[in-house]
Structure 1
């Protein structure tokens, strides 16, 4: 939000943000806050967004969640005067599922880690038995989930005093996961597809990308993570890989590529067809990527006049800001009568 407000063109920007949680911190940082409907399907959510943008005369919509609900509605938003900053729907449909992402990336010659998709206890045990022959430490994660929800490191070993006194890790036994999957299936609950794969080595590289429609990379800022420290990495190889991925998946505007190491080589972890939560780090590269993306969306020109400043070392610390004790949060707009289904909770969106 700060980068949008402090844009190099000196435009006044009013930031609207919405969330299903009225107490979300992002709402306190916005100029106007709103509550989103919590459990609705894609059509209902898209209608909420359209009604909100029409009511508030939103110029640019930057969605970090529910992309599958919005990506195919760019023309509908344009009809009410709102430009939608999002990659095309076919790209979103691939990249919001890790199985489809890995299959497409591997077919394009992009390195991916070994993986197996499982949806029941027997499949889990078979995948663990196969992959553990070459990789002793494995992990699981839902194939369709953003963020780290559902991520666990598989560990059947006994608890040692050293591990008890160390920082906690998200460990779980194979038996515990298999039993949870079996019990859910017996109870008629939906069992999500899980990926079983090696637990990949550090460093994790997160590449924030700016691209024009059609998958044309304009610039990127790779950052390596090491605890509370970050390095903006100057690497032609990483830039070349980002260019390949952006072109292959036809990504537009702000997206994020995550890599980790497998047997001392970088492999694809995931691609997010949305701005990353750590996008604000790129300000230390001397460029304003969010505003450059707005310019590309509205005018086809990023306005960038120099390459990013790389090789910079950063330390991540907490920041505190004063906010109103009881921010005014409007009620969600009424929705049409549509079947309600459980959906992922969206985060804040603006401009």
Structure 2
């Protein structure tokens, strides 16, 4: 076809990823000669850093800026950058692109988009009227146009319910109080109206489709195997479901649809099928459709160009598991794009060169084999995958054995990382299955080193250290006393050692919450005993969040004074003599609503590196640890949390020239490590990434308990 420039939007690829990066992957698969112009909103759209897939970047205004500014941006853009087709992928921006279709065409930019009337007809609030037109059953849907409507309905509906924003986002709620708090959160984020639907137990399916003039051109059906707490698919498999394809065919005919579309269905336990949502764009899992033989984004491009497209249907049996990929740069490569007046229309081509990696000095010891736990790399990633990625950068990387407690641990399916993946029982504080299986699997895999990365299992592995050592498996872990000292409920005791902390209290039972509210005041932060945290601003919100966290993690919960300021993370490794051999300080720049770090920069902060050294000495610490710090404008740095393992951003240490996982392996083997010094200014970003695999790989892990040669 020759060189063709395609613009794609929607690159915020964190815990609820937008579809842009997946669309780009599908386009690259279809025709490597096609050139991709990423159209992010700002320098923190994480998917735009996949510079190996993207040829150029240009910022576009956010939807709230209006269609006029968007058109001005494209007028300036086409004077500097070739652009033949644009694929918008976000609900909020679709009305602008539909309204500008003619103007874009006159600029030489082609699209394949629905009409304004079709776009309105598929809105979430209009689903009850659309269902009968398309011959589909839909759940009872109530439109909530104000806070008063929320309060009235909260005491009348049956629970559980799903609350949805008008365009995106959702929350499952289980009580009237939960309903009101979740509605306030969604309204603060997206405004009114909101929608409420009953939760229908059953199996969920998505149909991704492309249509032209009301006729279905291509479709892929995906069965959800794993979802986040927002209902976003995080693992799934293509299936043969002719009935759902036909329902989607009726839907596009009823709408006279043009372009991309996603229809979400649930099959209830009684066999009834309901369509509970219709989205006017590709889903974020659309790369799976291309992997299964139905490259729908490529079909959309060809339709936009006026070409004929043969009917497409995805083959069954193709699996996706959403994990993360990581990129490291010498600085934020999109920062210069913004600095050169992007609002005036400047364009930067390319994404910036990765920072040079110097993970190990010459003469490093033998590669060996390293076992690593914590492979679940979903919306709140465990550190195992990022630790493995850091070790994979070594000149002679060790054999990497992934140890997972979950078949749906998405990091287990990333190609090019693991030499072997093994299934373990879930950790238990009781003697038995987990401990025996851990030692046996490490021995069978011929591992000479074990790096546990989950808070819940580290005390158990520390107790097993003698048995592991007897089997020739090295570890680098603190003793039980040191571990107990940094448990979240005991965090206030660190103040006695001279560490500065916010006011922090343990919440042993729910009934203690009113007294804690009285002492801390509003707002404050509630944390689970192992993970998860939320700031709360009202007593009602505090009660709801406390119940949610306790249902997930149990008690005790931790209540902590809310501190405003710049956030930092300090990752470090201490040797058996409690000396820090390397530490990396990151300024957190891209964070999710749950507080997880998805991007940041290495900074040279001597006070925080000194804090890590003082911590290791005071607590007689051995092994990896993470300090989370907020620097208050007047009170200075405050220690808000300590984690007894590597953080999920530790890959940054390798890119900054101070590979902390490498140091931990060397120390666990009894080798010496000279102090590591990171390079300041290195920028790190991670993005959600769908790993593709045959469904048989998941079956082998479930049935046989291990999978070999994953890295092949």
Shorter chain as denominator, the TM-score bin is 0.7 to 0.9
1:221 equivalent in structure 2: 584
Classify the secondary structure of the residue corresponding to 2:665. Answer: helix
Structure with a larger share of its residues in strand: 2
Q: 1:130 to 1:24 in 2, by over 3 A?
A: same
Selected match of 2:617 from 239, 247, 262 = 247
Report Cα offsets for 1:121-171 as digits up to 9, x if no partner.
442111111221xxx3112113x21x21xx2322228xxxxxxxxxxxxxx
Q: 1:295 to 1:314 in 2, by over 3 A?
A: same
Report Cα offsets for 1:308-347 as digits up to 9, x if no partner.
212x1425242647553232426587xxxxxxxxxxxxxx
> Would you say the 8 A contact 1:3–1:290 is kept in 2?
yes
Classify the secondary structure of the residue corresponding to 1:21. Answer: coil
Report Cα offsets for 1:216-238 as digits up to 9, x if no partner.
11121100102254121101111
Tell me whether 227-236 or 322-331 shows the greater mean CA deviation.
322-331
Selected match of 2:479 from 69, 88, 102 = 88
Tell me whether 238-247 or 43-52 shows the greater mean CA deviation.
43-52
Aligned-pair CA distance for 1:117: 2.0
1:35 equivalent in structure 2: 423
Classify the secondary structure of the residue corresponding to 1:130. Answer: helix
1:173 aligns with 2:564: no
> Would you say the 8 A contact 1:27–1:34 is kept in 2?
no
Selected match of 1:109 from 498, 506, 512 = 498
Matches within 5 A, 1:1-351: 1-8=388-395, 10=396, 12-29=397-414, 30-38=418-426, 40-44=428-432, 45-65=434-454, 66-95=457-486, 97-103=487-493, 105-132=494-521, 136-142=522-528, 144-145=529-530, 147-148=531-532, 151-156=533-538, 173-176=541-544, 180=547, 192-227=555-590, 229-262=599-632, 263-302=634-673, 307-310=677-680, 312-318=681-687, 320=689, 323-326=692-695, 327=697, 328-329=700-701
> Would you say the 8 A contact 2:600–2:683 is kept in 1?
yes
Cα distance in 1 for residues equivalent to 2:561 and 2:489: 15
Q: 1:238 to 1:174 in 2, by over 3 A?
A: closer
CA RMSD across the alignment: 2.8
The two structures have a TM-score, normalised by structure 2, of 0.39
Q: 1:216 to 1:13 in 2, by over 3 A?
A: same
Q: 1:324 to 1:271 in 2, by over 3 A?
A: same
Q: 1:216 to 1:265 in 2, by over 3 A?
A: same
> Would you say the 8 A contact 1:33–1:330 is kept in 2?
no
> Would you say the 8 A contact 1:34–1:331 is kept in 2?
no
> Would you say the 8 A contact 1:118–1:194 is kept in 2?
yes
Cα distance in 2 for residues equivalent to 1:90 and 1:39: 20
Aligned-pair CA distance for 1:34: 1.6
Cα distance in 2 for residues equivalent to 1:73 and 1:329: 25
> Would you say the 8 A contact 1:60–1:82 is kept in 2?
yes
Report Cα offsets for 1:60-111 as digits up to 9, x if no partner.
010112011110221111111111232222212222x2122331x1111110
Cα distance in 2 for residues equivalent to 1:236 and 1:98: 26
Cα distance in 1 for residues equivalent to 2:404 and 2:435: 14
Q: 1:108 to 1:20 in 2, by over 3 A?
A: same
Report Cα offsets for 1:28-68 as digits up to 9, x if no partner.
23221122213643422222211111222211010112011
Cα distance in 2 for residues equivalent to 1:240 and 1:194: 29
Cα distance in 2 for residues equivalent to 1:108 and 1:4: 35
Q: Which has the larger radius of gyration?
A: 2
Q: 1:50 to 1:196 in 2, by over 3 A?
A: same
> Would you say the 8 A contact 1:71–1:92 is kept in 2?
no
Cα distance in 2 for residues equivalent to 1:331 and 1:93: 37
Q: 1:264 to 1:16 in 2, by over 3 A?
A: same
Report Cα offsets for 1:187-230 as digits up to 9, x if no partner.
xxx96122222222242211110211131111211001022541
Classify the secondary structure of the residue corresponding to 2:407. Answer: coil
1:164 equivalent in structure 2: none
Q: 1:4 to 1:42 in 2, by over 3 A?
A: farther
- Moved runs in structure 1, 4+ residues, more than 6 A? none
> Would you say the 8 A contact 2:516–2:559 is kept in 1?
yes
Classify the secondary structure of the residue corresponding to 2:679. Answer: coil
Aligned-pair CA distance for 1:175: 4.5
Tell me whether 35-44 or 276-285 shows the greater mean CA deviation.
35-44
Classify the secondary structure of the residue corresponding to 1:295. Answer: helix
Cα distance in 1 for residues equivalent to 2:422 and 2:406: 9
Cα distance in 1 for residues equivalent to 2:554 and 2:517: 18
Query: Which structure has the higher relative contact order (CA within 8 Å, separation 6+)?
Result: 1
